[in-house]
Structure 1
Amino acid sequence: MYSEEHLYSIALRECNLIGDINFYKLVRTFGSAKNAWQHTKKEYKRIDGLGYKMVADIGNPIHLKFAEKELKFCEKNNIIINLRHAGELPKLLNECYDAPAILYQKGSFDEKKQKVSIVGTRNMTSYGSHFLNDFFEEIKSCPFISVSGLALGIDKEVHEQSLLKGIPTVGVLAHGFHTIYPSKNRRLSEKIVEEGGTLFTEFNSSRKPDRENFIQRNRIVAGISPATIVVETAFGGGSVSTATFANQYNREVFALPGKITDKQSQGCNQLIFQNKAAAISTVKDLIDSLGIKKPKIKMEELFCHSEINIQLTDSQQLIFTVISDHPQISLDDIIEKTGLPSHKILPTILELELLGKVKSLSGRQFMII
């Protein structure tokens, strides 16, 4: 299931001073994480911006032992390890300059469906709840995937509304898969995977839900989708950072405006005022702006189709049966098999044609429809 490249990638990313950007520089220079692990300390001068102090921890056997342990953990817990330099990240996320070098995954992820990131405060109000309910009700028949951060409040509501409406949803974690934070969302996280959704994290099993991880997590939420919706957030709320990342990645940002006196709307209003987000006027206009198309209704669904059973006369049934049993039968053969003269057969065939039962072919041949 896992390769040497997975092993050396985890070890390399664990080294001091080797973040996602430097990791990507190394594997592009040396061709693989294994080669970077084995050769960087000798040839670090080949890479602009990397001094000896920055690469000094590469090759440390402690990190390789950790990587071996991490692979066992991932195998035991059915965790997929996506490597950026192997082209395994979600397409839009891979375009981000600071995309994670490694992205751990539980569940399935449909790259073909459009993604919409929806974020907001943990202190959701009835205003935000009503908006999400209206939004998901309007968009439930559309083929898309919702993305959020599996926190309480808006995030939790996004995931739950998605599951309720049969929409796949992605939860991005701020810690490793050894835990779920907040613990209240453990069952929700399991249900996301069970219902065909995905859990992503860039953090290995040693990483706890530390404060700084949540801002780092937000760039994945913003980077994975072409558009981010901020439902409710206060001044300086975490969702503002998600919107900032989305702007940096040249993605669309929408914010739900509210009263200037409502604390949980002040961050959204500020984003709109600073031209960092487009104001949401109506749910319909938002869906149109997102470019998500509802599936086309088939013609037969627009008009009821009822089949009319036509009772054939004895002579019609006789000729219909003969033609049915002998496709492309000629008039002479019909005369022979029925014992009827042509002046009785031809009018009956015309009646069957008008009823849509029989079709005339060249050479006085006939077949049923």
Structure 2
Amino acid sequence: MLQDEILYSIALRATPNIGDVYFMKLIEAAGSAKEAWHLSKKILKEIRGFGPKIIKDIGNDDFLKFAEKEMIFCEKNNIKIKLKHQNQLPKLLSQCEDAPAIIYQKGEFNENLIPISIVGTRNSTLYGKNFIEELLALLKNKNVLVVSGLALGTDGCAHTEALKNNISTVGVLAHGLHILYPSQHKKLSQEMIEKGGALITEFNSTNKPDREHFLQRNRVVAGFSGVTIVVETAYGGGSMSTVSYANQYNREVFALPGKITDKYSQGCNLIISQNKAKIINKPQDILDELGLNEEKNNIPNLFEPKTIKLNKEVQPIYDCIAENKQISLDDLSEKLQIPPFKLLPILLDLELKSYIKALSGKQYCI
């Protein structure tokens, strides 16, 4: 029964030293959370990477009792419990190896919408706010879902502007659903749920908004969407970790550039210069990336892709990239059986000649 699987999943995930990756290893070994819970210590020791410290508390009834209380809490508060190994997580998030084993969700959103993550500083400026207003006005009626962290500043502005334009929006929290942080956003969060959005979190009802939880939250924000937009951030801003996760997941990242003297543009300028994010020249760039720019889409394609003749060493590399919408350096290396260090100077030369484009996450396209 699914309810049993939820119960044992919560108990297993609440067990000390059992994080999301170890949780999934147990599922792979046992087939289900319930079966994993009842494995003998002898069998547990045979699972690669599972030492005495990790297996010590698996099967402890205290965590099963906690799971029962958690399920009662969720039922009383209309919170859905979704399991990764039951394929219940949002599609793109479920593809991440370190995605949460369990998601707690309050509210409902249409999973067929195109998710876009918008992140940035809590100290947002008028420059950043104006960009978000313009972008979300353009995204009205475009079947998108705005994802952010419900924090003050950029996050709150993204959620608010989404609602103004009748765009569903999801807030990813760094704590359990027994509280709402920051409290200033309680009314906003209720409106998000009422208007076809949701609050989601990997944290149970005992977890507070501790500092380390925000970094964990950022990987969910990055993994949820195919595109992450960084509006404003300082060098050491939390959004920089979101960018790192998005790059790791080979997701597209865009950043809004600003003056080098503006503190909350310096992080954006840095990741653009490091090729970790594409530069945003105008809000329409985002629509182009998502294929939502109707004016552009209505222009007939009058030209075939250029046929470029290169030397016999370079031609197979160019052709391989041309055959794919986009391809990573590692995949290119594997297909062509050429080491990455030999490919990089050739790719750079092709890029400088405008034959190919280099994308974030070491991805290439024509």
TM range (shorter): 0.7 to 0.9
Deviations 1:199-233 (A, max 9, x none): 11000000000000000000000001001000000
Identity of aligned residues (%): 58
Native 8 Å contact 1:173 1:199 kept in 2? yes
What is the DSSP-based 3-state SS (H/G/I as helix, E as strand, rest coil) of the residue aligned with 2:123? coil
CA distance, structure 2, for counterparts of residue 96 and residue 10 of structure 1: 20
What is the DSSP-based 3-state SS (H/G/I as helix, E as strand, rest coil) of the residue aligned with 2:236? coil
CA distance, structure 1, for counterparts of residue 177 and residue 295 of structure 2: 36
User: What is aligned with 2:223?
Assistant: 223
Map 1:175-324 to 2 at 5 A. Answer: 175-292=175-292, 294=294
User: What is aligned with 2:122?
Assistant: 122
How far is 1:282 from its partner? 1.0
Specify the code of the residue in structure 1 equivalent to 2:199.
Answer: L
Deviations 1:120-145 (A, max 9, x none): 00000000011011111112121110
Native 8 Å contact 1:141 1:294 kept in 2? no
What is the DSSP-based 3-state SS (H/G/I as helix, E as strand, rest coil) of the residue aligned with 2:225? coil
User: What is aligned with 1:139?
Assistant: 139
Bigger Cα displacement from structure 2, 53-62 vs 210-219: 53-62
Native 8 Å contact 1:256 1:279 kept in 2? yes
CA distance, structure 1, for counterparts of residue 259 and residue 201 of structure 2: 35
What is the DSSP-based 3-state SS (H/G/I as helix, E as strand, rest coil) of the residue aligned with 2:18? coil
How far is 1:2 from its partner? 6.2
Specify the code of the residue in structure 1 equivalent to 2:104.
Answer: Y
Name the CA shift for 1:39/1:295 in 2 (closer, same or farther; >3 Å): farther
User: What is aligned with 1:102?
Assistant: 102
What is the DSSP-based 3-state SS (H/G/I as helix, E as strand, rest coil) of the residue aligned with 2:121? coil
Specify the code of the residue in structure 2 equivalent to 1:244.
Answer: S
Name the CA shift for 1:144/1:17 in 2 (closer, same or farther; >3 Å): same
How far is 1:254 from its partner? 0.2
Segments ≥4 residues shifted beyond 3 Å: 293-297
What is the DSSP-based 3-state SS (H/G/I as helix, E as strand, rest coil) of the residue aligned with 1:82? strand
Matched, 1:70 2:53: no
CA distance, structure 2, for counterparts of residue 3 and residue 80 of structure 1: 12
How far is 1:294 from its partner? 4.9
Deviations 1:265-315 (A, max 9, x none): 001001101110000001112211232355999xxxxxxxxxxxxxxxxxx
Native 8 Å contact 1:259 1:265 kept in 2? yes
Gaps of 5+ in 2: 298-366
CA distance, structure 1, for counterparts of residue 41 and residue 257 of structure 2: 53
What is the DSSP-based 3-state SS (H/G/I as helix, E as strand, rest coil) of the residue aligned with 1:200? strand
- State the structure with more CA Rg: 1
CA distance, structure 2, for counterparts of residue 2 and residue 114 of structure 1: 28
What is the DSSP-based 3-state SS (H/G/I as helix, E as strand, rest coil) of the residue aligned with 2:25? helix
Native 8 Å contact 2:253 2:276 kept in 1? yes
How far is 1:91 from its partner? 0.7
Specify the code of the residue in structure 1 equivalent to 2:100.
Answer: P
Q: TM-score, normalised by structure 2?
A: 0.79
Name the CA shift for 1:295/1:177 in 2 (closer, same or farther; >3 Å): farther
What is the DSSP-based 3-state SS (H/G/I as helix, E as strand, rest coil) of the residue aligned with 2:38? helix
Deviations 1:147-168 (A, max 9, x none): 0000000000000000000000
User: What is aligned with 1:53?
Assistant: 53
Name the CA shift for 1:40/1:134 in 2 (closer, same or farther; >3 Å): farther
Native 8 Å contact 2:44 2:55 kept in 1? yes
Native 8 Å contact 1:142 1:293 kept in 2? no
CA distance, structure 1, for counterparts of residue 157 and residue 295 of structure 2: 25
Deviations 1:93-113 (A, max 9, x none): 000010000000011121211
How far is 1:45 from its partner? 3.0
CA distance, structure 1, for counterparts of residue 216 and residue 131 of structure 2: 27
What is the DSSP-based 3-state SS (H/G/I as helix, E as strand, rest coil) of the residue aligned with 1:223? helix
Specify the code of the residue in structure 1 equivalent to 2:106.
Answer: K
User: What is aligned with 2:17?
Assistant: 17
User: What is aligned with 1:86?
Assistant: 86
Name the CA shift for 1:94/1:128 in 2 (closer, same or farther; >3 Å): same
User: What is aligned with 2:317?
Assistant: none
User: What is aligned with 1:321?
Assistant: none
Count residues with an aligned counterpart.
297
CA distance, structure 1, for counterparts of residue 89 and residue 254 of structure 2: 25
Native 8 Å contact 1:116 1:229 kept in 2? yes
Native 8 Å contact 2:110 2:196 kept in 1? no
User: What is aligned with 2:153?
Assistant: 153
Deviations 1:343-362 (A, max 9, x none): xxxxxxxxxxxxxxxxxxxx
